[in-house]
Amino acid sequence: MIRAYLFALDPTEAQADAMASHCGATRVAYNWCLAQVKANWSQRAAEQTYGLTGDQLTPWMASSAYSLRKAWNAAKDEVAPWWKQNSKEAYASGCANLAAALANRTAGRAKMPRFKSKRTARMSCKFTTGRFGLVRDRRHVQLPVIGVVRTGESTRKLARKIEAGTARIRSATLSYQRGRWHVSFSVDLPDAAPEERTGGGVVGVDLGIAHLATLSTGEQVPNQRRLDAELSNLRRAERACARRRGPDRRTGAAPSNRWKKARARADRIHTRVANLRRNDTHQFTSRLVREFDTIVIEDLHVAGMLRNRRLARHIAGVSWGQIRRQLTYKTERAGVRLVVADRWFASSKTCSECGTAKAKLPLNERVFACLACGIVLDRDENAARNLAALAVDTGELRRELPDGSDVRRACSHAPQSHRHGKSPHRTQRHHRKVVAR
Ligand SMILES: [Zn+2]
């Protein structure tokens, strides 16, 4: 099993310069190799127009990572006399990236690669050999040529595995994202074969906006509304950008230094909101996996709901898609069962006590009051309890319909398999009618 461990870095100014230099070196090697390949191809095309064929033509330029690197090494003294400033891995990384891009094109997966722009291309550089890894103090990483760089947080989670001999770092990728340098270690771990945890608690999770989630235990997990908290700061920062002279694609005018500063300030807020949000969902999903052995969630149609303009910002803000994704891999790793209820399972409209379904339940009705058995319950808690009940009777997942066919109400994520129920659309609609009745 290969996993990535990402650490934000706090380099010194000199180190940051060296990092930018390495990423630039990767780009230069990539662009130079691409230019060679293109020149080779157009040379052959021109020769063909003169009627040359077969052996008379200039031979194809080999485009494997190895061949490109060889061509680069032969030319680097002339093309980039400064090449010794950077680790040779930086150039090799550019050659390998181009080789992969060309292979993708040959296989029909991608278009012809384009030259990488100094201003817009993502800065990144991969190290596969040389001295890189964690430093014993758990607050620094070692990178070739760049040296020992301080990390934004402790590296102990990975360090413990490496010290115990259960993990091995294969490569390190340096990148600049969201205004900060990061290193991502690709790590070889033993295949996870968790024992399935059974018998323990079952929890139904109703995801919402007012609360991030309501659990069938009655607990409500608050929605921290990270964007709302920063919205006034963000609007001020965006306004400052709007008042300053930004880049103009039409005239090619470069942005002013004041605009760049304002832009950086606004980007920092965006990054902060994204980081806080990510932390919230990770804390939440990890806790669920730690405390319960079976987790039942709804199969929410997030993309469809995002089309509702009044809700879009709030729905995007609670990152349901992320929660689903994290639960999928975390349950798999921990041997916890994840049950995903059918998209049309009427979790809100059904009474969790007696099973009577209501025909209608407007969104503004926050309390579920059953007319049949008289129970009065928070709307979301009722839904969460219905979801939890699904896991208990997975034995009778298939329900008899009047016409003799049966419909899947939910399906279980057996650990280590990604299959989950996608019944044909027609059946789903049919099922919705049945439940609503
Ligand atoms: Zn009832």
pLDDT attached to residue 394: 56
Examine residue 95 and state whether it is found in any structural domain, yes or no: yes
Tens-digit pLDDT profile for residues 367-410: 888 888 888 999 899 999 999 988 876 543 333 333 333 333 33
Pick from 66, 93, 120: which residue ends a domain? 120
Same domain, 111 and 138: no
Count Cβ neighbours within 10 Å for each residue of 173-194 and write b for 16 or more, e otherwise: bbbbeeeebbbbbbbeeeeeee
Examine residue 257 and state whether it is found in any structural domain, yes or no: no
Tally of structural domains, the chain:
3
Same domain, 231 and 325: yes
Among 89, 293, 298, 381, which one carries the catalytic annotation?
Answer: 298
Regions of the chain with pLDDT less than 50: 395-437
Examine residue 249 and state whether it is found in any structural domain, yes or no: no
Examine residue 260 and state whether it is found in any structural domain, yes or no: no
Examine residue 4 and state whether it is found in any structural domain, yes or no: no
Same domain, 429 and 320: yes
pLDDT attached to residue 65: 93
From the number of C-beta atoms within 10 Å of its C-beta (0-12, 13-18, 19+), residue 382 rates as buried
Examine residue 382 and state whether it is found in any structural domain, yes or no: yes
Pick from 151, 170, 188: which residue ends a domain? 188
Size of the chain, expressed as the number of residues it contains? 437
Ligand 1 centre distance from Cα of residue 372 (Å): 5
Q: Could you tell me if 295 and 341 are in contact, meaning their C-beta atoms sit under 8 angstroms apart?
A: no
Ligand 1 centre distance from Cα of residue 376 (Å): 9
Residue 380: active-site member = yes
Which residues constitute the domain of residue 160? 125-188
Same domain, 34 and 105: yes
Among 280, 293, 380, 381, which one carries the catalytic annotation?
Answer: 380
pLDDT attached to residue 30: 97
Contacts of 209 (CB under 8 A, 6+ apart): 223, 311, 314, 315, 318
Residue that has been written with the tokens 């680069």 in this structure: 72
Same domain, 220 and 327: yes
User: pTM to 2 decimals?
Assistant: 0.64
CA distance 250 to 194: 57
Same domain, 223 and 337: yes
Ligand 1 centre distance from Cα of residue 272 (Å): 45
Tokens at 312, concatenated: 């879009």
pLDDT attached to residue 128: 93
Ligand 1 centre distance from Cα of residue 373 (Å): 4
pLDDT attached to residue 393: 63
∠292-294-296 over CA atoms, to 5°?
115
